[in-house]
Chains A and B, each alone.
Chain A
Amino acid sequence: MAKKEVKKLEYFTDWKYAPSPEATDHIRLQKQYDLFINGKFVKPNSGKYFDTINPATEEKISSIAEANDKDVDSAVKAARGAYDKTWSKMPAKERAKYIYRIARLIQERARELSVIETLDGGKSIRESRDIDVPLAANHFFYYAGWADKLEYAFPNRNPKSLGVAGQVIPWNFPLLMAAWKIAPALATGNTVVLKPAETTSLTALKLAEIIQESGLPDGVVNIITGHGPVGASMVNHKDINKIAFTGSTNVGKWIQKAIAGTDKKLTLELGGKAANIIFEDAPINQAVEGIINGIFFNQGHVCCAGSRLFVQESVAEEVIKKLKDRLETLIVGDPLDKNTDIGAINSKMQLNKINQYLKIGVNDGAEMYQSSCSIPKKGFFVRPTLFLNTSQSHRISQEEIFGPVLAIQTFRTIEEVIEKANNIPYGLSAGVWTDKGSRIFNLTSKLRAGVVWANTYNKFDPTSPFGGYKESGFGREGGLHGLMPYLKF
């Protein structure tokens, strides 16, 4: 059989992208942010503040309060007070109206929130503008509607709120994760103490301002900032009924252990190492776009990132060639530029971790391929990276890197790829690319993962449950299923 020639994908153009930076003059940021407790911004007991920086420039943006145990306690007390006095007694349809207001205020202030999200976290403005912020608003809008309909969601039961929810969220989707946590908790009648990640507190604090503006009764939502110990203090607080955590598997395991023997209810949304599987009959060009989106979306700082690519051997050469071509076209740089595909790595720490994994990959014998693009001298950036000739036992194929690094393996049979895809402690998500519908449904039933995307990737919607199998955590966020973790029957 004559070998099929793989043509280069034609991205060539004489036109260069002119810089197209999003304006920042319309945003309102303070020099210093306090803790949001009981409807007011209050100084932290520690008197300490830490810097939040722009990871694309390493310049300081603002100072953020460092909470301690005492602050956690007053936030929990405020949440308990609000729960007892107002929130649990309010008719559900009135509760809904506050949540609708929050959704509307986010929509109205979408542009400001997008710019701040990009400044503080490093993600491209295109993503914060088109994905993070609208999805956050939609999430509030969606769950607002559930508040007075819970008895329909759980027929023959009498759903009741839990009380005070302690919520700890990561730095990869700061505002969106706050929405995923707060919206269902409020809709089900709980009050909230939320801790954003220390590198990305700003949009959560802007959300606190929005919550203030919405007239939500004091103490229903409290937002406290700081480092790991603040989260630990929340987890161990005696008057918290529910812990919701999104973050690393290691911390998730620690939390599960810490609350053992208590009555606290727990949901964990942890790490992932998703298999993105391409069969020979897949629409290859479309699949290449899907792989690129799957791993390079949000600099790869995505728990459900398609970080393991499985290509059927017969099309491996073509897919890899096209991937390399496409990789060259990705624009890495200023996150505020509307043309940017890949923005800044969230922190120095994360950059070091990714670079360490690049070394590990090479040392383990995998073949590294990087885009030849230039990256800014200042700020935290890394070139989008492919690893070829990886095997199942390589650390880069087993461990979550949380960066723009794709480990590629090939396979021959469907049995083999199912085995390889499932043989990992994680089970958050997977991708399948094939023209055959019947094969998609075969795989969705055999892949041990909470979300399976078929001929698409990284799709999110307030109505769609999201969450993992195995060490990727338990509980679902989104949809009807996302109500359950905040209710008792």
Chain B
Amino acid sequence: MERIEVLKTYKIFIGGQFPRTESGRFYPLKLKNNMTVNVSLSSRKDFRNAVIAARAAFSGWSARAAFNRGQILYRIAEMLEGRKEQFLEELKQLGYTPAAAKKEVEQSIDRLVYYAGWCDKYQQLFSSVNPVATSHFNFSVPEPMGVVAILADESSALLGLVSVIAPAIAGGNTCILLASESKPTCSITFAEVIATSDVPGGVVNIVTGSRKELHSHFSSHMDVNAIINCNSEKDFNKTIGENASLNVKRVFIWNRNWSDEKEQGPYYITDLQEIKTTWHPIENIGISGIKY
């Protein structure tokens, strides 16, 4: 008799754990092989739990040495490369052609390596020593914003979310991402990659569900510092912008073609950074001229 395949339950990813949505709701997703996945229809409460996890993880993650964050992002790339076949199959079930699936996974891996490299480099490019006229040593450095809420690109199953998570966490932020509603399965498998890559629990949180339902909660939460929507819905973006003003969230509409190699770079990191300037006095005694 033929062996019966064990099917995977797709749950969500909060604080390093894989719970089901607290609401118990689901939405069906039909795959190309005619199997149906019951995807978690996450609730406002799931999101709020994820924000708590992200906030709790922020102090530790942002305090990590930049080099260490780089190693961890590189580790994610290593893990993703190792599970390439699984993603290829999953993408196929979502309707990707084999060639498109291969490109999606390989670009995602390379993008992670790309941002792994930035972890300890953008600071040198975007920091400055400011030549103030008084006797002060004055310098400005980027610091992570905090908790970033992300509504991922609807059209992309993997690259769209990698392209936004990577610069957010490379810069020391933590995030909560709502996966593509129509292509959610890869996001949870990607969460498994994250969970086995030495990324501390809570740094990346991934929920699945309805953007229509959740975008107002993502944008109105008072403990979220920045919100990114990777989609172009005009009415959603207006709500997001208005809600963001409640606690002066930084709003970014990144409706991009992530498969374009140009849609990566340090500015995706610096968008999610604050600049801190420090003044320190310089003692003004001793010889003025230098003779040697």
Contact = CB atoms under 8 A, between A and B. Distances in A.
A384 B110 CA distance: 51
Interface size class of A (residues with CB under 8 A): 35 or more
Given A100-B74, A145-B118, A438-B281, A462 B290 contact: no
B67 A442 contact: no
A446 B286 contact: yes
A248 to B, nearest CB: 21
A346 B71 CA distance: 34
Interface stretch (B32-40, B94-102, B119-127): B119-127
A446 B285 CA distance: 11
B116 A438 contact: no
Given A93-B113, A141-B70, A439 B283 contact: yes
Nearest to B291: A422
B70 A418 contact: no
B114 interface: yes
Given A441-B283, A442-B284, A96 B71 contact: no
Contacts of B121: 145-146, 149, 463, 480
A480 B113 contact: no
Contacts of B133: none
Interface in B153-199: none
Interface in B243-292: 265-266, 280-287, 290-292
Interface string B106-137: 00001001101111110011000000000001
Interface of B: 66-67, 70-71, 74, 110, 113-114, 116-121, 124-125, 137, 265-266, 280-287, 290-292
Contact of B120 (A93, A437, A463): A463
A138 interface: yes
Interface of A: 93, 96-97, 100, 138, 141-142, 144-149, 152-153, 414-415, 418-419, 422-424, 427, 436-439, 441-442, 445-446, 448, 462-463, 470, 479-480
Contacts of B285: 414, 442
Contacts of A415: 286-287
Given A470-B292, A479-B124, 10 more contacts: A93-B110, A93-B114, A147-B117, A148-B117, A152-B265, A437-B280, A438-B281, A442-B286, A448-B292, A480-B121
Contacts of B67: 138, 141-142, 462-463
A145 B70 CA distance: 9
Contacts of A148: 114, 117
B117 A153 contact: no
A442 B282 contact: yes
Contacts of A448: 290, 292
State the 3 A-B residue pairs at the shortest beta-carbon distance, nearest first: A145-B117, A438-B283, A442-B283
27 contacts: A93-B110, A97-B113, A100-B113, A138-B67, A141-B70, A142-B67, A142-B70, A145-B117, A145-B119, A146-B117, A149-B266, A152-B265, A152-B266, A153-B125, A415-B286, A418-B286, A418-B287, A419-B287, A419-B291, A424-B292, A427-B292, A436-B283, A438-B280, A439-B283, A442-B285, A442-B286, A462-B67
A446 B290 contact: yes
A269 to B, nearest CB: 20
A488 B291 CA distance: 33
A419 B287 CA distance: 8
Contacts of A147: 117
A422 B289 CA distance: 12
Contacts of A437: 280-281
B292 A422 contact: yes
B74 A414 contact: no
A437 B137 CA distance: 10
Contacts of B71: 141
B139 to A, nearest CB: 11
Nearest to A417: B286
A144 B117 contact: yes
Contact of B117 (A96, A422, A439): A96
Nearest to A448: B292
Nearest to B74: A100
Contacts of A153: 125
Nearest to B281: A438
B120 A142 contact: yes
Contacts of B70: 141-142, 145
Nearest to B111: A93
